[in-house]
Amino acid sequence: MFRTEMIENSDHSYDVVFYLSDYNASTEAALEFLTKSPSFRKIRNIVLVGAITVVIPLSQVVSKSDRYAMSYVFFGTYSQQLEYISVTQGSLGVISPSYFNLDQNGQLEQVTISHDFIESVHQQGMKVVPFLSNHWDRASGVAALENREQLAEELYQMIMEHHLDGINVDIENVSEKYRDAYTDLVRLLREKIPADREVSVAVAANPEGWTLGWHGSYDYKALGEIADHLFLMAYDEHYQGGESGPVASLSFVEQSIQYALHFVPREKIVLGLPFFGRIWSENGEISGQGISCQRIESIIARYDAKVTYDRVTRSPKAEFSLTEADNLVINGQTMKPGKYVIWFENSNSLKEKLALVDKYELKGAGSWALGQETADVWDYFSLWLNGKYFEDIAGHFAADAILSSAEKGYMVGVNHTAFAPEEAMTRAQAAAICARMLHLSEELSPYADTKGHWAEKQIGAMAKKGLLFGYEDGTFRPDEEMTREEVASLLYRVIGAEYEDESSPFTDVSPQRWSYKEITALAGKNILSGFPDGTFRPEAFLTRGEMAYLVQQVEKNIDS
């Protein structure tokens, strides 16, 4: 039907040429072949050669969501849930509503299943895969497992009757004693439900390899062999009734993935992300109650909360105080006067977790629960899930460095989908990047013109370390663009480089130039490079893409 040829570009990306015997008949098959290629992410253009030759940018033929993407829907009415779905920008392929709830006897509760809802979701190109849940009630879960033959048959009948696309099993808080029974329930469901419909299992995150308690109820290996995939609930690291801390630190999530990979193929793991946070009071009366990220956003604004990003756990937290005059009600409970802390998720923490899906080549990602997220999530969810990160870096010489800097949290985009690699680097951006690389503690800035600036505390940290300076008039000018020699001087101090009386390799950098020492020292370490004509162009502005490349080089020297 077709043969292929891969042509490498100068930036090590590829153009794929398909020689088609019949253009109309072969195009779809060629594109399907393409997306399954192990070099898929490095492909820039598709060239279809037949009766006519067509060159198509990859971004125009690949759907926005290539990896599996789902979300549970638990809160709100059917109409509200459809509204939640409507803002996801086509990011999801599967919706998992709460249709299969277990009562105290392990029997299915009577619920109203909306055929209008199911039809609406199907019309939008998504599947409806309800979840089976005991909602943490152990007696209910145990009874269901003991009654698994009848339960599996009832679930099968409901799935077929209501034209559902499968089932997600989410029975939690049963012990290791029911490990085999749990696996057997999933086996029964898989045997009954048609192969083209999903049977998946939500499993506890297990970074420490616990084998007892509710963690022990999941036989990762056996479940992975039977089910289409395991939904890894990589959250509730800190939980209601426990001590204060992040809901899902990056290390907790990554270690949970690594443990799962010992037993389950990567293509059968879906990473579960939290769209919620938890709140604790200083007096201990409020201890980890769940609260949606959307609500947290409004609390931060209303009470002028201090938000910091913990560099160790890679998690944000908000700290604020309430007075007698405040009337904050959370989950029906009025918060008393005092100090509070909320650990939650924001775009930075969610992006870092989404990047793990690409790093470990997992099947995809899902979330608990739709409607709890902030509106900006859907601006970047699909891009980051699929390892694309930014739409404007394809073919850029520094694309790999940009991705590396973004994954490590050193650099961020100008918005959720754009990096702007050809924009000039500002003094504030440079300060923030270096402060993150050096893991500096935030400090108040001594410069009047940085008060209230987004990078104020990073500028303060760099100033305190003596790595970045202001001007004689007492200003810092944070949004002023930096030249190539100014950045060279900054990075010279950051890595603590030493000048070894080297000669300049650049025709336009003479010994009389104020930045001669810094430029030649960094060039000697292969951090800086010039242009093909032998110049360095010290007074030209440094671009954000060039900075990403330099960050990659500087990091090697910091590590050494």
Catalytic residues, which ones?
172
100 secondary structure, DSSP code: E
CA dist., res. 382 & res. 31, Å (int): 20
CA dist., res. 128 & res. 108, Å (int): 18
CA dist., res. 536 & res. 528, Å (int): 9
Kind of pairing between the strands at 229-233 and 329-330 = unpaired
DSSP-derived 3-state class of residue 29: helix
Determine contact, residues 350/273, Cβ cutoff 8 Å.
yes
Largest CA distance in the chain: 87
Determine contact, residues 230/256, Cβ cutoff 8 Å.
no
Six token digits for residue 527: 């951090």
Q: What are residue 8's DSSP bridge partners?
A: 14
For 15, phi and psi rounded to 5 degrees? -105, 135
Determine contact, residues 42/15, Cβ cutoff 8 Å.
no
Q: What are residue 310's DSSP bridge partners?
A: 315
H helices within 320-455, ranges in order?
347-359, 377-385, 399-407, 427-437
- SS3 letters across 278-322: EEEECCCCCEEEEEEHHHHHHHHHHCCCEEEEECCCCEEEEEEEE
214 secondary structure, DSSP code: G
HSE, CB side, 13 Å, CA atoms: give it for residue 207. Answer: 14
Which residue's entry shows tokens 């979840």? Answer: 131
CA dist., res. 215 & res. 432, Å (int): 40
- Angle between the N-to-C axes of helices 115-123 and 78-86, in degrees from 0 to 180, rounded to the nearest 10: 10
- SS3 letters across 175-229: CHHHHHHHHHHHHHHHHHCCCCCEEEEEEECCCCCCCCHHHHHCCHHHHHHHCCE
CA dist., res. 262 & res. 268, Å (int): 12
Cα 59 off chain centre by: 20
H helices within 38-114, ranges in order?
78-86
Six token digits for residue 76: 């709100």
H helices within 245-397, ranges in order?
250-260, 293-302, 347-359, 377-385
CA dist., res. 248 & res. 315, Å (int): 8
CA dist., res. 407 & res. 352, Å (int): 6
